[in-house]
Structure 1
Amino acid sequence: MATTAKVVSNRKGVLRRTTAWQTTPHHQHKLESRTETRRRPRCGRPIIAPPLSASNGRAGPAPSTSGTRLVAEDSAAFDLAGQSLRSWTQFIALLAVVSAGLYGIWIDPNLAGLGTSFVSSVETLSDSHEVVMLAILVAFGVAHSGMAALRPQGERLVGARAYRVAFALISLPLALTAVTYFINHRYSGAALFDVRSVPGVHGAVWWLSFASFFFLYPSTFNILEVAAVDEPKVHLWETGVMRVTRHPQMVGQVMWSLAHCLWMGNSFAIATSAGLCAYHAFGCWHGDRRLEEKFGSDFVEVKNRTSVLPFAAILDGRQVLPRDYWKEWVRVPYLGVVLFTLGAYACHPAMQTAAHWVGW
């Protein structure tokens, strides 16, 4: 049997390799063609295809990694040997000090009570709890995204740690106010539907809420930087949850909102969820813009092989999951998310009691 091979080029410049097998002259000629197409993304480096088997020319088994060179950081990586007992002691002490200060200055109406004054001023806008909730979310969004946008200038002016502290001192009280107001008014507004007694709804709401926290808190990847114990940096992540979606917080917020709207079924829950999801949708654009300014072509390359919509890049072939992808999830930060989520669920009664005591 004779074998011939040639390379041809079509009008679009895509290389094609054609291999033909020819039988003896006593039989009809049989031609089998196989075409390999190597395409390039519009930006970034070529997509690396799976290796070809030497025996049959077909795509071989996927390697233990995707074959794509990572240009960003390995998310949720945790090196126990690199941890410092001193750093974690400082983190716990700082958390205690911030909590005490937040309680005395913002929460307790018998002390400074700035939170009560803030909520009272917002409530003058409308008698509608939905409007007040949305106004609180707008205040948080302007402060949070505004300070994120000004981060390069702020860090040059006062340093990374000082700017992180200022960021936290403004964002944390507003976030706490939004959570407290939501808890206290979660069943206000117009009742639209009630499916809580439908079999399976409670389980679906629980699991959807639980899963949402794996997307909502990528900050667990660098929690010591969040607290400014380590010097804060802007990170570009590429593995783990980032392979599923480039904006996990947006996806997690949609999941959480869907679960709570399904359970509460009133206008307040829907208005709050709409505000939260709209803010996170804005965050997708805002975050991409800041990362591209910071990382340039590296971010463009990550963007080309990831997606905003979950699994979209995987389904269209831009993202190739490693065979051992599960290892990118079996990590200490994700264990922290599990423990935090279960703890928050167990503390729901205490959280409701505390919110009622604050009275916002």
Structure 2
Amino acid sequence: MAAPLVLSTHFSSSIPHSTNYPSLKTLHRSLSLPSSSTSTAILLNPISKPNINSLFFLNRPSQYVLLSRKFVARTSIRDTETEDSSLVGEDSAVFDFEQQKISSWVYFTVILGVVLFALNVVWIDNSTGYGKAFIDAVSGLSDSHEVIMLILILIFAGVHSGMASLRETAEKVIGERAYRVLFAGISLPLAVSTVVYFINHRYDGLQLWQVQNVPGVHQLVWFANFVSFFFLYPSTFNLLEVAAVDKPKLHLWETGIMRITRHPQVIWCLAHTVWIGNSVTAAASIGLIGHHLFGVWNGDRRLAKRYGKDFEIVKDRTSIVPFAAILDGRQRLPKNFYKEFIRLPYLAITALTLGAYFAHPLMQSSSFNLHW
């Protein structure tokens, strides 16, 4: 987003001449005008060197006007005069190759490999892990797959959101990196257990409706799932922080997906419920939507506590419901809004989302072999 500048637009024919001419460099620094600004700066001081490419001279030699490329900023919703729309939050999905360190990504790869290996040995592998014992213990609480599904989601949601709420306090005690490792070490096994149980029992229970043979439903569900995962990516914009290679931070993202929605997870729940259409999936959807709604409140609460007025500004410009802020005029998209998505992180998540779709048969067979 360009930083808007509105300077004097008052023209007078009786401007006094001065012999103390400021340099162009001084003027540029005082205005803080970036080359890509969409604002218009009008300067009414005389200069002695008229042959400067970035200046457009009026008929009066004692005046000049410094013009940018555009006077009116056009958004994807409506044409609007340039207004104060400078970023308060962070520009999301920025990936500068010049700032990347090979050593950091080597550490990330090693850490990812170690985490996956440990997860398999300690939790997933039935011969060494505790995952099956955990599922068996929860399954002993009820004969209903719907109830078990809700209990698993409740356990995961309580741990995940609870630890997120304790983050600020805990980080002061053990540090950001240590708490990130602890958070992931507890949340990840619970998430895997919940997903595996859902995959294995998704067609159990009472069939409520059947629309899988209806033309266009598969494509609609596929698109909804793709969008939900694509929208979900803001939570992992900085993978080096996720793996605790860089010091984890609580970010206030404002661009890209955040212009459309701050909390997109509900889309996935609804899409799977429509596709499968039975009581187990409905129970999972109800549980996850409840968790996400709590996450909306809890996430906004944490951001408000951390960023104060800045978050309130971002909150006013964005929405929870996709496209709501755009449609009611609170979010004015810049003309080149699409460029916020032509970035390596978004291209990577697109590839991963497509890969996850085609990997569904492998995910299903792997889950079935666990017998959870």
The farther-off stretch of 205-214 and 163-172 is: 205-214
2:301 corresponds in structure 1 to: 289
Between the aligned partners of 1:63 and 1:202, the Cα distance in structure 2 is 33
Asked whether the equivalents of residues 76 and 220 of structure 1 are also in contact (C-alpha less than 8 Å), the reply is no
Contact 1:219/1:226, CA 8 A, preserved across alignment: no
Letter in 2 for 1:177: S
- Whether the 8 Å contact between 1:73 and 1:235 is mirrored in structure 2 is yes
Q: How far off is 1:320 after superposition?
A: 0.9
Amino acid paired to 1:314: I
Deviations 1:154-187 (A, max 9, x none): 1110110000000000000000111101110010
**% identical equivalent positions:** 56
- Residue 245 (structure 2) pairs with residue 233 (structure 1): no
Deviation, structure 1 residue 220: 3.1
Q: TM-score scaled to structure 1, two decimals? A: 0.80
- In the alignment, which of 98, 105, 112 is matched to residue 81 of structure 1? 98
- Residue 201 of structure 1 and its aligned partner are, at CA, apart by 1.4
Which amino acid in the other structure matches residue 354 of structure 1? S
Aligned length: 299
Supply the AA of the counterpart residue of 2:96: D
What are the Cα deviations for residues 226-258 of structure 1, in whole angstroms up to 9, with x where unaligned? 1101111110000111111122xxx2x222122
Query: Matches of residues 290-329 of structure 1 in structure 2 within 5 Å?
Result: 290-329=302-341
Deviation digits for residues 194-231 of structure 1 (CA, Å, limit 9, x no counterpart): 11111111111111111111112223311110110111
Distance across 2 between alignment mates of 1:313 and 1:88: 37
* Amino acid corresponding to residue 110 of structure 2 in structure 1: A
Q: Is the 8 A contact 1:240 1:325 kept in 2?
A: yes
Deviations 1:257-314 (A, max 9, x none): 2221121111111110111111101111100110011011111111121111122211
Give the secondary-structure state (helix, strand or coil) at the position aligned to 1:73.
coil
Please identify, of 229-238 and 204-213, the stretch whose mean Cα deviation from structure 2 is larger.
204-213
**Offset of residue 348 of structure 1:** 1.1
Alignment pair present for 1:100 and 2:133:
no
Unpaired runs of at least 5, structure 2: 1-38, 41-70, 77-81
Q: Is contact 2:92–2:237 with CA below 8 Å preserved after alignment?
A: yes
CA contact (8 A) 2:230 2:353 kept: no
5+ residue gaps, structure 1: 1-49, 52-58
> Runs in 1 of length 4+ with deviation above 6 angstroms?
63-66
- TM-score normalised to the size of structure 2? 0.77
Out of 220, 229, 233, the residue aligned to residue 217 of structure 1 is 233
Is 1:133–1:272's contact at 8 Å kept on the other side of the alignment?
A: yes
Contact 1:240–1:328, Cα closer than 8 Å, also in 2: yes
Q: Partner letter of residue 264 of structure 1?
A: I
Give the SS at the match of 1:217.
helix
